[in-house]
A and B are shown apart, each in its own frame.
Chain A
Amino acid sequence: MTAYDRRTLIVGMAIAAVIAGGVSYFASSAPDGLEKFQEDRGAAEPVHQGASAPAVVFEEYNFKWLGEGFWANAVAGVFGVLIVLTILLLAGYVLRRRRPPVPRGRTVGS
């Protein structure tokens, strides 16, 4: 990982963490387009068998030990961006090809 990559990660993750951990708390709590449509037309109740994951550590986007509120949402948001980053970096480094092909003897990149 180059210094350049590190800067991408630091700047990008700072932006993501502020949005997920801070801004999202002030987001609209109104139902989204799909939920609103289902509620308005009296079809908000499921008619089939379905399953949600168990709420082990997070109750929706709230860290359970903190109940609800800004900090419960902040922990959930920051944890979420970190776990997505971690999974994608691991997947990326497993899948990557180590050296890009050099077409027809040309040197590509540096």
Chain B
Amino acid sequence: MHIAPGFLSPPVWGTMVAVSGAAVAGSLVVARRHLDERRVPLMGVMGAFVFAAQMVNFPILPGTSGHLGGGFLLGILLGAPLGIISMVCILAVQSLVYQDGGLEALGANIFTMGVLPCLLGAAARRLWLRPQPGAVAYGLSLAGGILAVIAGATVVILLLWWSESLPQTVSLIQAIGVMDSIHLAIGVVEGVVSVAVIRFVLAARREAVIGVEDRISSEETIA
């Protein structure tokens, strides 16, 4: 879903650089204040995992593939600030080293695949910090994973529309319909894989997932 070079007009990519820049700055400020050093190895490993997962395009329809976004997963496991920082690193490396995504589109790509899904993941995070995450956590996370991909895809279309890069032959609504229906299928895979990885990581490294903030609030609930 990386926007390639030349599809966004200067006002659009400029706006997205500003929006994502603000989100990244906010994430760095929060991380500076709260980042528990015991979570750093997990952040590094999960970032590397999402980079790897994004390289694996799976077939969706004849002639169409999709790949994981991973932002939703990182939002759940790391929280929004660390998730966003990780996605920035992944997307910047993809763009700068592997020519995946336009340089000027980096802000837009960080927003659609980083900021947006990480915030949705962070909203679902509480479900998984419970002692026994159950059917509600599964169901809502699957739905959230789908929603995160569809929300990102919809914003991509809106940015292309604003840049007058949409095909002449389709209306905005049709374009969103086509894009969202492809990404519904990709989103199902995103949701299923996210839940599987969350379960694996929680079973292996639960204490690295829970941050200081979470620990303080749960301590206060107990006290």
Contact surface of A with B, Cβ cutoff 8 Å: 1, 5, 8-9, 11-13, 15-17, 19-20, 23-24, 27-38, 41-43, 46-53, 55, 57-61, 76-77, 79-89, 91-93, 95-98, 100-101, 103-104, 106, 108-109
Contacts and interface: CB of A to CB of B under 8 A. Distances in A.
A20 B189 CA distance: 18
13 contacts: A12-B42, A23-B56, A33-B66, A37-B175, A37-B179, A41-B169, A46-B6, A48-B7, A50-B103, A52-B99, A79-B97, A93-B37, A96-B36
A97 B215 contact: no
A51 B103 CA distance: 6
B134 interface: no
A83 B93 contact: yes
B97 A16 contact: no
A33 B43 contact: no
Contacts, number: 242
B98 to A, nearest CB: 5
Contact of A61 (B41, B98, B175, B212): B98
A5 to B, nearest CB: 4
Chain A facing B: main interface SS: helix
Nearest to A38: B167
Q: Which residue, of B35, B58, B179, B207, has the highest number of chain A Cβ atoms within 10 A? A: B35
Given A19-B52, A46-B7, A53-B95, A104 B223 contact: yes
B44 A58 contact: no
B49 to A, nearest CB: 5
B205 A30 contact: no
Contact of A89 (B9, B28, B44): B44
B56 A85 contact: no
Nearest to B153: A33
A16 B45 contact: yes
Chain B facing A: main interface SS: helix
Interface size class of B (residues with CB under 8 A): 35 or more
B49 A15 contact: yes
Interface stretch (B15-23, B116-124, B158-166): B158-166
B185 to A, nearest CB: 8
Contacts of A48: 6-10, 163, 165
Interface in B50-81: 51-53, 55-60, 63-67
A31 B63 contact: yes
Given A33-B1, A33-B186, A97-B36, A92 B215 contact: no
A1 B56 CA distance: 31
A13 B45 CA distance: 6
Given A27-B55, A46-B4, A53-B96, A100 B212 contact: yes
Contacts of B85: 88, 91
B26 interface: no
